[in-house]
Chains A and B, each alone.
Chain A
Amino acid sequence: MTFKNMMIVALLTFSLAAAAFAEEPKNAAPAGGSTPAATAAAPAMPAPPSAMAPASSQPAPATAPAQKKAEVKANKAVTLTMFAIIIAITLGVVVWAAKHTKTTADFYAAGGGITGAQNGWAISGDYMSAASFLGISGMISLYGIDGFMYSVGWLVAYITVLLIVAEPCRNAGKYTLGDILSFRTDPKPVRAVAALSTVAVSTFYLTAQMVGAGKLMALLVGIPYKASIIGVGILMVGYVVFGGMTATTWVQIIKAGLLMSGAILLSVLVLVKAGFNPIFFFEQVVTNPDIQDHVSKLVLKDGIVLNGVDAGQRFLEAGLFMKAPLDQISLGMALVLGTAGMPHILMRFFTVPTAQAARKSVIIAMFIIGAFYVLTTLLGFGAAIHLTPQAIIKVDPAGNMATLMLAQQLGSEIAPILGDLFLAFLCSVAFATILAVVSGLVLAASAAIAHDIYVNVIKDGHADQHEQVMAARITSLVVGAAGIIIGIMAENANVAHLVALAFAVASSGNLPVVILSLFWRKFNTAGVISGLLVGTVASIGLVLVSPNMTYPKLVAAGAQKVVAALEAKQAALPPGQALAEKDAKTLAKAKVDAQKTGTSMMGLEKPLFSLKNPGIVSIPLGFLAAIIGCLLFPNKRSEEMFDELYVRQNTGLGMSKAIDH
């Protein structure tokens, strides 16, 4: 135990040092085109119209010069103090949790000792990433109601979790997805494939989160990208390795509490300004001349002329952002069905003692998550009214900074120091958010590798408690280290589609086999394996040939149009007069891009599949493959064991008590 404590102290100093190492960023102002939260916020949404320049579809940082004039600067001393407080509190939790983490049940499922209410908060903390917190309100502040409609799917997803998976998983499962799927099938191959899909989903999601975290920290407090990733990574590994599920749960609960306090506080400030009258609030949106001007310009790109109140009203109508309905529906399917197949969410249900507690936890989580998204409307529209969309775009073209700017402004209207404090508080909420989400992901991936692959496939289930816990800890360390390395390597990669991909794999691979395992008598080994593999491969494959990838020839074609347009503009100018500086820069860049040639990663000149979100195709494929695979290779034993599984999942009889020793 003393060794453990020493390690924790060492971790604390190390991560603080990493934070302090952050030298004043002289011109480390993140290069233009950095869209930290949006990478996760807008899984493969159509590129914002404002970023129509062809280059926006490829990794920008190397090419786009810093064109930012405005930026949000958090008071570094205050913000870092708040970070240190959060780190200190969470590490305190880790020290306490480490004392109670002795068995595998403790490590993976907090000994089954989490209550329904605690788990509800932890689910919310696990689920709401910096993307929902900053990205969705930013989207609302720039594109109006589309952002709100987008947030709906994130809540509705929990109906599937509540009705279909939460209680059966609690009753029939133990620690992982593999436990549920291998119940009446041939355990080794099923566990191996389930672990593979879990690791795939977690890696996609984790990479997006890590890259987002690095960029966000750089943008907010000026901590360099690599230092942020290493700092966040070390903390996340520390929580998971030493504190297991207990520490992860409490980090998530603390984060959810902070996030909700921040959102409520800011919403109240917005409501005060609208006299607590929602109708007046929306009138403010419609009649705001800056919003009207912003919308006029947005719709003008589609050749529509709207002015004055009509333009303001258009902000409350759908379609300013989401212009590809099929893609939207496809994304909706992946969200609504994928959440219930997310390994890190499923895992949360093994931490509560009974099915009733699992049910209660989902309902509590639904109220927290739902309330948060409803408040997001206030924050997003509030930012549009009080900051103006133009000012938000100046700081970040994707709008991710809207909430933070709003906090600073509304706070400083009361007292200047309050603005700084409030901004620093929200920055630390973002920080806690990142920590909570990545810890859950690392734990889920480690459980799949250590529990499914190592203990049950390699060691045939013959490993004592000590060895199992050791394996779990070492795996978490390795997974976390891998997360840090991938995060650093992916700095300039285009990670925007990774969150959508994670949901696509979860909805097309995991969800069909979970549902069929729990509810279909005939389901068997062949069905699980074919369903998981086809669902996973189809989602990844379709994304690889989709418009998410970079197609140099398409970039070049787009750039040629820009060149033609700008040259025409130049020709129209009176002789001797040059283009404005901004246009001249764009022209120079477009000329370079227009020379691009070659093919995408997959050797394609243009996308084979026109949607950015594969769900609409891959989900039915996953179900079909599972059903066909199962019917082709029927298995008597699986059918006979259905009664046992079905009685267990409905009644909780013979439940594997997480407290067993």
Chain B
Amino acid sequence: MAEKQYDWSAIAKNPKFVELHHKKAAFLFGWWIFSLIFYFLLPIGAAYAPGLFKIKIIGVINFGYLFALSQFLVSWGISLYYARVAERDFDRLTRELVDELHL
């Protein structure tokens, strides 16, 4: 296996990589923490705010059901948003970095 030798610490200091890593870390951990907080509102709310959860919104459908349903929509939303940002920013930066290294 003819694996190319890379100077890893030099790449790690490459401004393109630094930009990639900052953008990515902020995005990933930011949305991860958001999704966790949003999720735990569901069991916490169901247990400690039953009054809110039983308010009827559409016909007999109450806030609790819609909130649980919104968890699905939010998860899907985050995943699609991430896919877009990753393709637009992270993948592009990675490609540019790799091209630069191979020159």
Mark A residues whose CB is within 8 Å of B. 145, 148-149, 152-153, 155-156, 158-160, 162-164, 278-279, 282-283, 285-286, 313, 316-319, 322, 325, 328-329, 332, 336, 356, 359-360, 362-363, 366-367, 370, 373-374, 519, 640, 643-644, 646-648, 650-654, 657, 660-661
Nearest A residue to B27 by beta-carbon distance?
A163
Q: Which residue, of A148, A322, A362, A643, has the highest number of chain B Cβ atoms within 10 A?
A: A643
What are the residues of chain A within 8 A of B6 when measuring CB–CB? 644, 647, 653-654
B1 contacts A317, C-beta separation under 8 Å? no
A325 contacts B43, C-beta separation under 8 Å? yes
What are the residues of chain A within 8 A of B83 when measuring CB–CB? 359-360, 363
Q: State whether the Cβ of B103 lies closer than 8 Å to any Cβ in chain A.
A: no
Given the interface pairs A317-B64, A329-B43, A363-B79, the reply to whether A651 lies near B91 with Cβ below 8 Å is no
Mark B residues whose CB is within 8 Å of A. 1, 3-4, 6, 8-9, 11-12, 17, 20-21, 24-25, 28-29, 31-32, 35-36, 39-40, 42-44, 46-48, 50, 53-54, 58-62, 64-65, 68-69, 71-72, 75-76, 78-80, 82-83, 86-87, 91, 94, 97-98, 101
A366 contacts B76, C-beta separation under 8 Å? yes
Q: Pick the residue among B4, B11, B31, B76 that contacts A367 (CB under 8 A).
A: B76
- Measured CB to CB, the closest approach of chain A to B88, in angstroms, equals 13
In Å, the complex CA distance between A313 and B1 comes to 66
- Measured CB to CB, the closest approach of chain A to B52, in angstroms, equals 11
- Measured CB to CB, the closest approach of chain A to B100, in angstroms, equals 11
Given the interface pairs A164-B28, A363-B83, A644-B8, the reply to whether A159 lies near B59 with Cβ below 8 Å is no
A651 contacts B64, C-beta separation under 8 Å? no
What are the residues of chain A within 8 A of B97 when measuring CB–CB? 651
Given the interface pairs A164-B32, A329-B44, the reply to whether A156 lies near B71 with Cβ below 8 Å is yes
Given the interface pairs A282-B60, A318-B64, the reply to whether A156 lies near B11 with Cβ below 8 Å is no
Q: Which residue, of A373, A653, A654, has the highest number of chain B Cβ atoms within 10 A?
A: A653
A155 contacts B75, C-beta separation under 8 Å? yes
A317 contacts B53, C-beta separation under 8 Å? yes
Given the interface pairs A366-B76, A370-B76, A647-B12, the reply to whether A145 lies near B94 with Cβ below 8 Å is no
Nearest B residue to A660 by beta-carbon distance?
B1
In Å, the complex CA distance between A647 and B62 comes to 48
What are the residues of chain A within 8 A of B79 when measuring CB–CB? 158-159, 162, 362-363, 366
A328 contacts B43, C-beta separation under 8 Å? yes
3 smallest CB-CB distances across A and B, nearest first, come from: A325-B47, A644-B8, A318-B46
Known: A329-B40, A661-B1. 10 other contacts (CB 8 A): A152-B42, A158-B79, A159-B31, A159-B79, A278-B61, A317-B50, A332-B39, A366-B76, A651-B98, A653-B101
